[in-house]
C-alpha cells in the first residue's frame, strides 16, 4: 500500500490477536511500530519476530487506563512524529446486564472507552501540530447492532463509533482522518475466554452457522483494512464505519 514506508505507528494491544497481526502487517509495509501493551512478554515476542524479519518495532509497557503513563510514552516518541494510531485494546466478560455489577461496568468502561479517549487526547495534538495523521479505532459490531450479554461493552463501542465520526468532522481540515473498523465474532484469546465449556462451544457453532461465510473471523482478516485506512490509498476517506464480519451484519 502507498505511503506506509517509514511511518510511525502506535498499536495498542499489539501483543496478541488482531493487534499482533496488525503490528506485523504494518512492519511488512515498512512502517515503524510502537506496541503499547501490559503483556510485555508477548509484546516483546512480537517485536522480536518483526525485527527478525527485517522490520522496525518497539514494545512499550503502557496501561491505556493510565492517562499519565500514556502521556509519558507519547511524549517520549512524539518528537519523531506519530503518523498512525490504532486503538485496538478491548476487553469484556459475557454477563447478562441485570446480573452484572458496577465493578464490571467500571473495568469495561475504563478499558474500552476511557482508554481510547486517553490515547486520542495524547496523540491528536501531535497529529494536529504536524498537519497530518490517521486514526483507526477498532470498535465492534456489538456497538452497531448490540450483542447479548455485552450491554456495557456494546455501549462503549457505540460510543467509540460516535466519537470517531465527531473527531473526523472536527479534524478533517487539520489533515487528520479517523475511521472505525468493527469486527464481528473473532477467534481471539478474548473469544476463547467466552467460549469455555459446552455452552461456549454451542455459541461458537451457532455463530459459525449464522455467519454467511461460515466461520469466525481470524486476526489476519483485519490488518488489510486497517493498513488501507492508514495509507495514501485512503486519502479521501474519513468518518466511516466498516464492518468486518463475514456478512453477519450488513449496512449501507
C-alpha 143: how far from chain center:
14
Answering whether pTM is above 0.85, one says yes
What pLDDT, on the 0 to 100 scale, is given for residue 200? Answer: 65
What is the rounded CA–CA span in Å between residue 28 and residue 26? Answer: 5
Instruction: Give mean pLDDT, residues 100-108.
Output: 98
Number of domains the chain is built from: 1
Q: Which of 21-35, 184-198, 222-236 has the lowest mean pLDDT?
A: 184-198
Q: For residue 46, count CB atoms less than 10 angstroms from its CB and return exposed for 0-12, middle for 13-18, buried for 19 or more.
A: buried
Name the band, by pLDDT with cuts 50, 70 and 90, for residue 199. Answer: low
Catalytic residue among 26, 34, 36, 153: 153
Residue 38 is classified by DSSP as S
Q: Is 3 domain-assigned?
A: no
Instruction: Give mean pLDDT, residues 75-80.
Output: 93
Domain hosting residue 41, numbered range: 8-183+222-240
- 153 counts as catalytic: yes
Closest among 154, 8, 135, 137 to 82, alpha carbons compared: 8
Q: Is 156 domain-assigned?
A: yes
CA dihedral 56, 63, 67, 51 (to 10 degrees): 0
What is the rounded CA–CA span in Å between residue 211 and residue 185? Answer: 9
Q: Is 30 domain-assigned?
A: yes
pLDDT in tens, 171-189: 999 999 999 999 998 887 7
CATH of the domain at 176: 3.40.50.720
Residue 32 is classified by DSSP as E
Going by DSSP bridges, is the β-strand pair 176-183/56-61 parallel, antiparallel, or unpaired?
Answer: unpaired
Q: Is 69 domain-assigned?
A: yes
Amino acid at each position: 500500500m502507498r505511503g506506509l514506508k517509514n511511518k510511525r505507528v502506535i498499536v495498542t494491544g499489539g501483543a496478541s490477536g488482531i493487534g499482533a497481526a496488525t503490528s506485523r502487517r504494518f512492519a511488512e509495509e515498512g512502517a515503524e511500530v510502537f506496541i503499547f501493551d501490559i503483556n510485555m512478554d508477548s509484546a516483546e515476542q512480537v517485536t522480536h519476530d518483526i525485527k527478525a524479519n527485517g522490520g522496525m518495532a518497539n514494545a512499550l509497557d503502557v496501561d491505556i487506563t493510565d492517562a499519565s503513563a500514556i502521556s509519558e510514552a507519547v511524549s517520549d516518541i512524539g518528537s519523531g512524529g506519530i503518523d498512525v494510531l490504532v486503538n485496538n485494546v478491548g476487553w469484556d466478560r459475557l454477563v447478562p446486564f441485570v446480573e452484572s455489577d458496577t465493578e464490571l461496568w467500571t473495568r469495561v468502561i475504563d478499558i474500552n472507552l476511557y482508554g481510547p479517549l486517553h490515547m486520542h487526547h495524547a496523540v491528536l495534538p501531535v497529529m494536529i501540530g504536524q498537519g497530518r495523521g490517521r486514526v483507526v479505532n477498532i470498535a465492534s459490531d456489538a456497538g452497531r447492532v448490540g450483542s447479548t450479554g455485552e450491554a456495557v461493552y456494546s455501549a462503549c463501542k457505540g460510543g467509540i463509533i460516535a466519537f470517531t465520526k465527531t473527531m473526523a468532522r472536527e479534524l478533517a481540515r487539520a489533515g487528520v482522518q479517523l475511521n472505525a473498523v468493527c469486527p464481528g465474532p473473532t477467534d481471539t484469546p478474548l473469544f476463547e475466554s467466552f467460549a469455555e465449556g459446552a455452552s461456549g462451544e454451542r455459541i461458537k457453532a451457532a455463530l459459525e452457522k449464522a455467519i454467511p461465510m461460515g466461520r469466525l473471523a481470524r486476526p489476519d482478516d483485519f490488518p488489510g483494512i486497517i493498513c488501507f485506512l492508514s495509507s495514501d490509498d485512503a486519502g479521501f476517506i474519513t468518518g466511516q464505519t466498516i464492518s468486518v464480519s463475514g456478512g453477519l451484519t450488513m449496512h449501507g
